Amino acid sequence: MDFELTDDQVSLQEGVRAFLDGRFPLDAVRGIEAAGHLDRARWQELGETGVFSITLPEADGGLGLGVSEAALVFEELGRALVPGPLVATFLAAPWIDGAAAGETIVGRFEPGTPVSVLEHPADLDALFTLADDGVRRIDPATITTVPVERPVDALTPLAIVEGAVPKGDLIADVAAAERARLVGLVLTSALQLGVALRATELATAYAKEREQFGRVIGSFQAVKHLCADMLVRAEVARAAVYAAAVALDGRSDDDPVRAALAAKVLAGDAAIANGKSGIQVHGGIGFTWEVDAQRFWKRATVLDTHFGNSDEHAEAVAALL
Amino acid sequence: MDLRYTADEQQFRADLREWLGDVLPGLGPEPHREDWDARRAWDTGWQRMLFDAGYAGINWPKDFGGRGATPTEHLIFIEETERARAPYVGMNFVGLLHAGPTLIAEASDDQKAFHLPGILKGEHVWCQGFSEPNAGSDLASLRCRAVRDGDDYVLNGQKIWTSYGHMADYCEMLVRTDTEAPKHKGISWLIVPMDTPGIDIRPLETMEGTAEFCEVFFDDVRVPVVNRVGDENDGWRVAMVTLSFERGTAFVSDVLESMELVRDLAGLAKTITSNGATRWEDAGLRREIGRIAAEFDALWALTKRNISQAQRTGLVGVGGNVFKIAWSDLRQHLGDVTMRLLDRASLSLDDVSELPTGRHVHARFYALSMTIAAGTSQVNRNIVGERVLGLPKDR
């Protein structure tokens, strides 16, 4: 047993971080937010970097790596707050042309209650859903939607789905859909882990520089302990996310279903709680549009609704007890 | 990242499992928690069986009579003994996990030759005399005095939280040998035989009404200078050396026990009915238990991360503090849920109406000590904030 990252995994993660620091700094992310739609050139760069083809076989132009490596990459994407249907496009890479290369932006339709929504409706070239009988491709143009004027996360534009959604065409079988659901759970957890980690970094940096009562606020135990708890939540979530990824790669005796559910519960809760603490540590300025703390909390709230929220996953874990 | 066990590790597990299956039936039933003499005999008897089979001092170096197991083998050892419901270190946890490793690192050859076999064979039980009424989180401010008189130190003062002090043969003890020096620089580490005249051991009744801890009073207790480990006034460093022996395995049995408690509690919820429905049909409660189970799964994964890190680098790093903060909070959360689930059956420390609730109520009590013992969660958060996140100290 060796749960440490291999040298190759460390290099991969460092490489992706360097790429994202260069092409998706928070300034650039704010630029995408202001534009109101995804940046296709940058999306294609993600594809060229291999973000969507990590687990595709090398013969199909992929990197031939595992879910473990994908999780490390998606942790970095979450950390950088990269917007867009990242997990959906990744999952679609084997089924929909252009997804792997970043030429086609692929969304996923997930029926919801009390409403169903489409994310990034104006940017989608293709759409699929994980149905009971397999993976079904739906033409986005056949769905009637009403745009949401003020989405909670300005980096995740939304539209409300009105009326019936066509069944779509079967493009992969039930086993593929089941697998995609588990991989999707784990990669979404990895995004949430990244959100939780970056929120911790931003809050800690601010606590070291902001002065009140003649000293930096990070020297006050009340603030220090908020930051410490953020790190604790993120590190516990990291263990759960990596364990789930390893289980999906068959490099573990753990039940991959339970591990994936646990990862989503832990990472989802960590992202939301750290997003909230991140705003708290910033104080009043944290409640403003200008400061990025709120963007991480907003992304956390969006990701919690993907593949079911943490309550549903807690329920599913209970069913396995 | 690979959580599978190597062929050697699997062989180690298989051999251990077979041995446990062979010998455990001969051990006899676990004594009542407060039958101290019987518990000592049971724990030390088990230690002797481990010694005879070559499993004693599982993580101690081979040169000092241990098994020299890797951190992962140590994990497997605890996992298998828990699974088989065999004892672990029991009453001599201080000797096996703390004093022994300290002696290995710092003691003289004579001290090692006498004491290490006594611990490994189950002949001697050790306790710890570190904390004092006025030296808790601020341990280095301890005041129990040791004054040199010829070949002896003369000890006066008080220790507290000394687990199994009334059953121990030896005490690893920190004493003040220099009152003028800065607090960390005037401490020495002594081996104190517990039958030395002048030692008064008084059981300290816990909030559960049991007496695992003791207060120990020292009144002109003479301890030979040759019982000092390390140099005079270098005892703080000696005591801290043991921390560097931690390989992430410190809480393995606790996590496994916690996971079993959750499974057991889910089972109980399926049998207890209220208003014609089982408690398990309460979706809110069910989800909360599911969430707690997921969180313990995560802490089990974190344990493996910490152990893997120790195996690679020799150190656990921040993972140990992170684990302790999260685990102790989670155990208390579990305790709260236990209370709501058992409702009035949670008001008895013993089983009621043939429901196996006593262990859950005991666990709920015990959880309250977990955010205090071995470093309070507040001190641990300071450590994480300052040493990991680099936030400034405020003293």
* C-alpha separations of A5 from A12, A171, A239, B320 in Å: 10, 35, 12, 18
- C-alpha A249: how far from chain center: 19
Partners of residue B290 in chain A, C-beta under 8 Å: 265, 313-319, 321
Residue A16 neighbours by CB distance under 10 Å? 24
Rounded to the nearest integer, the mean pLDDT of chain A is: 97
Decide if B297 and A258 are in contact by the 8 Å CB cutoff.
yes
- Give how far A91 is from chain B: nearest CA, Å: 22
Contact B322 A236 (CB under 8 A): yes
For residue A195, how many C-alpha atoms fall within 13 Å in the half-sphere facing its CB? 33
B294/A242 Cβ within 8 A: no
Residue A148: strand, helix, or coil: coil
Q: Judge: B391–A317 Cβ closer than 8 Å, yes or no.
A: no
- Region label for A213, one of left (φ > 0), alpha (ψ between -120 and 50) or beta (otherwise): left
3-state DSSP assignment of residue B268: helix
Question: Which of A219, A236, A318 is the closest to B302 by Cβ?
Answer: A236
Residues of B in contact with A198 (CB under 8 A): none
- Cα A57–Cα A59–Cα A61 angle in degrees, nearest 5: 75
**Closest Cβ–Cβ partner in B3, B286, B299 for A315:** B286
CA dihedral over B344, B348, B351, B354, signed as positive or negative: negative
Cβ contact B134:B154 at 8 Å: no
First CA to last CA distance, chain A = 25
CB B187 within 8 A of CB B129: no
Chain B closest CA to A141's CA: distance in Å?
Answer: 38
B217 Cβ contact partners less than 8 Å away, ≥ 6 residues apart: B157, B158, B199, B200, B201, B202
Does B392 contact A216 at a Cβ distance shorter than 8 Å?
Answer: yes
- What per-residue confidence (pLDDT) applies to A4? 95
CA distance B73 to B310: 12
pLDDT 10s digits, A42-69: 999 999 999 999 999 999 999 999 999 9
Per-residue pLDDT of chain B (395 residues; tens, 9 = 90+): 999 999 999 999 999 999 999 999 988 899 988 899 999 999 999 999 999 999 999 999 999 999 999 999 999 999 999 999 998 889 999 999 999 999 999 999 999 999 999 999 999 999 999 999 999 999 999 999 999 999 999 999 999 999 999 999 999 999 999 999 999 999 999 999 999 999 999 999 999 988 889 999 999 999 999 999 999 999 999 999 877 777 888 899 999 999 999 999 999 999 999 889 999 999 999 999 999 999 999 999 999 999 999 999 888 877 899 999 999 999 999 999 999 999 999 999 999 988 889 999 999 999 999 999 989 999 999 999 999 999 999 75
Sign of CA dihedral A284, A289, A293, A294: positive
Per-residue pLDDT averaged across A312-319, rounded? 96
Report the gap between the CA of B312 and the closest CA in chain A (Å). 8
Pair A255, A316: CB distance under 8 Å: no
Question: Which residue among the candidates B18, B246, B288, B295 is catalytic per the annotation?
Answer: B246
Residue of A nearest to B322 (CA): A232
pLDDT value at residue B248: 85
Burial letters B30-63, b for 16+ CB under 10 A, else e: eeeeeebeebbebbbbbbebbbeeebbbbbbeee
Tell me the one-letter amino acid at B189: W
Residues 6+ positions from A32 with CB-CB distance below 8 Å: A38, A39, A42, A83, A155
Q: Which amino acid is at A118?
A: L
Q: Which of A300, A235, A241 is nearest to A272 (CA)?
A: A300
Tokens, residue B110: 């004579």
CA gyration radius for chain B? 22
Nearest CA distance, B389 vs chain A (angstrom): 7
Q: Which residues of B touch A262 (CB under 8 A)?
A: 293-295, 297-298
Answer positive or negative: Cα dihedral of B204, B154, B152, B231.
positive
pLDDT at B395: 55
B9 interaction partners in chain A (CB closer than 8 Å): 1
User: What pLDDT is stored for residue B212 in this prediction?
Assistant: 83
A318:B287 CB<8 A = yes
Contacts of A266 in chain B (CB under 8 A): 294-295, 298
Quick check: is B281 catalytic? no
Q: Which residues of A touch B295 (CB under 8 A)?
A: 236, 262, 265-266
Residue from the list A2, A254, A314 with its beta carbon closest to the beta carbon of B308: A2
Residue at A49: amino acid letter: T
Q: What does the block give as tokens for A58?
A: 């090398």
**Residue (of B342, B328, B343) closest to B295 by Cα position:** B328
Single-letter amino acid code for the residue at B382:
N
| Mutate which: B308, B391, B393, vs A, most A CBs within 10 A | B391
**Least CB-CB distance to A237: which of B298, B378, B393?**
B298
Question: Contacts of residue A313 in chain B, CB cutoff 8 Å?
Answer: 290, 294
CA within 13 Å, CB half, A96:
27
**Residue contacts between A and B (CB atoms, under 8 Å):** 186
Interface touch B391/A239, C-beta < 8 Å: no
DSSP label of B109: H
**What is residue B134's predicted lDDT score, i.e. its pLDDT?**
95
Cα dihedral A146/A152/A156/A162 (nearest 10): -20
- The alpha-carbon gap from A214 to the nearest alpha carbon of chain B, in Å, equals 13
Two structure tokens written together for A282: 């910033």
Strand B273-274 relative to strand A134-138: parallel, antiparallel, unpaired?
Answer: unpaired
Can you give the C-alpha Rg of chain A in angstroms? 19
Q: Can you say whether the dihedral through the CA atoms of A296, A299, A301, A307 is positive or negative?
A: negative
* Helices and strands per DSSP (H, E), number in chain A: 10, 9
Smallest Cβ–Cβ distance between B1 and the set A5, A223, A235 belongs to A5
Residue B211 main-chain phi, psi, to 5 deg: -130, 60
Mean pLDDT over residues A221-236, rounded? 98
Inter-chain contact B385–A228, Cβ cutoff 8 Å? Answer: yes
DSSP string spanning B17-74? HHHHHHHGGGT-PPPPTT-HHHHHHHHHHHHHHHHHHT-TTTTS-GGGTS----HHHH
Residue A66: closest CA among chain B residues belongs to which residue? Answer: B1
The pLDDT of residue B34 is: 83
CB A161 within 8 A of CB A118: yes
Report the Cα–Cα distance between both ends of chain B, in Å, rounded: 40
Indicate the residue of A236, A246, A259 with minimum beta-carbon distance to B299.
Answer: A236
